[in-house]
A and B are shown apart, each in its own frame.
Chain A
Amino acid sequence: MWRRCLLTGMFAWLAAAAPASAFVAYVSNEKGNTVTVIDTDSWTVTKTIKVGQRPRGIEFSRDGKFVMVAVGDDDTIQMIDTKTQEIVDTLPSGPDPELFTQDAAGKTMYVANENDNTVTVIDLEKRARLGDIQVGVEPEGMAVSPDGKILINTSETTSMAHFIDTATRQIVANVLVDSRPRFAAFKRDGSELWVSSEIGGTVSIVDPVKHEVTGKVTFEIPGLRSEAIQPVGIGMTKDGKTAFVALGPANRVAVVDGATHKVTKYLLVGQRVWHMDFTPDEKYLLVTNGVSNDVSVIDVAAQKVIKTIQVGELPWGITIAQP
């Protein structure tokens, strides 16, 4: 009997001691023209992949087989095979693609073409361009509503969030937000749309049904002038209770209460923190620090920065998935 207990105990101990599921993070380095691959178990760089000119927006395909990276100066989107970690194909975007998003099924991709004031719609199965949607000046932030019916595009110079019907590909509403909107993210339940404004220094909370700004997240860091606080990337937990906002040259990530929209904490990271992504188990959040050329790892539960990893030159975007 005691042997069985001992054996069970040993298995339990081994299970507890086993490392957490390893994920793999891909970081686009805007100036280095590379993508850095990070193993999230050992927190080490395992490979650097040479890609096209000016890689920025980066995302896993829904099936996890490819990592797609927008290479702005090459006017295309490159597909990296996650097994071989080599570029295997390209997707037809418009000129200067910056950020993109996919629908829930991973069949359709929407690309913001910064210099063309358009959003390109791509069929991911056929890898073919389906058409373009005319939007505001300098489109950037992209998000699809949880029900897949609405596509959001933010245009930096127009300072608007455009609501686009994914079925008709027509703009159905425009919501004016603070200056230079960079990024958009929906709460998982679709109740709120968050839009970060780089120059305005705020995150606007938009009611996706009424198309109205219902609140704003503001930031204040002692010792820093307000111009240095430039919200860009947003990461929201699945339960919508906590959001993380990258504050650019403020070198901080703000932790925001998802319900009250108040900042509860500022976390010190590297210089010019830009975009972020959670590990699939939501234990960690990785943020890119453009000027200090590194990626900081945040323990989500503890709300602490635990590590910073050197990557390529000017890290911009990041995507994480199961290898």
Chain B
Amino acid sequence: MSSTTVPPARSGFSPSEYIICLNGIVWREALRFLHQRERFISALVRPLVWLFIFAAGFRQVLGISIIPPYETYIPYEVYIAPGLMAMIQLFNGMQSSLSMVYDREMGNMRTLLVSPLPRGYLLFCKLLAGTAVSLLQVYAFLVIAWFWDIAPPTIGYLTVLPALVLSGLMLGALGMLISSGIKQLENFAGVMNFVIFPMFFASSALYPLWRVQEGSPMLYYVCLCNPFTHAVELVRFAVYGKMNWVSLAVVGGCTVVFMIGAIIAYDPSRGLVRRGPGGGEA
């Protein structure tokens, strides 16, 4: 039996202490990412398969229409690129959460949670670290896509960054919230199926919403309510230096809600999930 002594919470910490904590968590996530080359490769291969194979077969899906933010007709590959960027972040957010379940199973999480810094801050650092990793993956994807003639305006590579940060935070927070309710690593596969695929397919990532509306008005409303749709649209507009205010509000709002939910869920005294005897980790 191991015992963990949680130091009494201090009322205030210096900024440097916060930075040391952030640095440690980000560095750990970066090291883990660098050591898992397969993860990086698979994170790239997944969207590229969609881009090169799926897009080739589904060119007619887009039809002939000009949809904002585009100002002219675009090939299907160009249309799905922002959806694939968000997909990278969706998978990364879930994988990052997967690592939390792993950490909890292996006991590594205790090391993190014994930190005297506020629990919410620790989780936020973890979220930032996951988002930073997802940004690396997205930009690597954009470099490869450039060779495939998917070249947004040069300034778009910069203007998309804040949108990617926000969508990365939202998807990471969602993953964190979900991971808090998973006791064992094995259960996570089911959640992947029940969360990732519905979120991805019931969104504007692969087909424009006007097309969805033509096929099923009901599904159209489901897509509209899906935060992932708004993450995709936020990224899509940002790539062309434009702002989609509705998507910004939805993504920003969801980030806050998911983050608060995750903080509550990871609080042993108020957790959403029933803990084992003593309130420790399962």
Contact = CB atoms under 8 A, between A and B. Distances in A.
Interface in B31-82: 59, 64, 66, 71-75
A306 B71 contact: yes
Interface stretch (A6-14, A29-37, A254-262, A266-274): A266-274
A308 B59 contact: no
Contacts of A307: 71-72
B64 A308 contact: no
Interface string B151-185: 00000000000000000000000000000000000
A292 B71 contact: no
B74 A268 contact: yes
Do most interface residues of chain B lie in helix, strand or loop, or is the interface mixed? loop
Contacts of A155: none
Contact of A251 (B66, B71, B73): B73
A296 B64 contact: no
Contact of B64 (A223, A251, A297): A251
A269 B73 contact: yes
A323 B73 CA distance: 28
B72 A292 contact: no
A258 B247 CA distance: 46
A251 B71 CA distance: 16
Contacts of B71: 306-308
A21 to B, nearest CB: 21
A271 B64 CA distance: 8
A172 B71 CA distance: 48
A173 interface: no
A232 B66 CA distance: 24
Interface of A: 223, 251, 268-271, 292, 296-297, 305-308
Interface of B: 59, 64, 66, 71-75
Given A223-B59, A268-B73, A296-B73, 13 more contacts: A251-B73, A268-B72, A268-B74, A269-B72, A269-B73, A270-B64, A270-B73, A292-B64, A297-B72, A305-B72, A305-B73, A306-B72, A308-B73
25 contacts: A223-B59, A251-B64, A251-B73, A268-B72, A268-B73, A268-B75, A269-B72, A269-B73, A270-B64, A270-B73, A271-B64, A292-B64, A296-B72, A296-B73, A297-B72, A305-B72, A305-B73, A306-B71, A306-B72, A307-B71, A307-B72, A308-B66, A308-B71, A308-B72, A308-B73
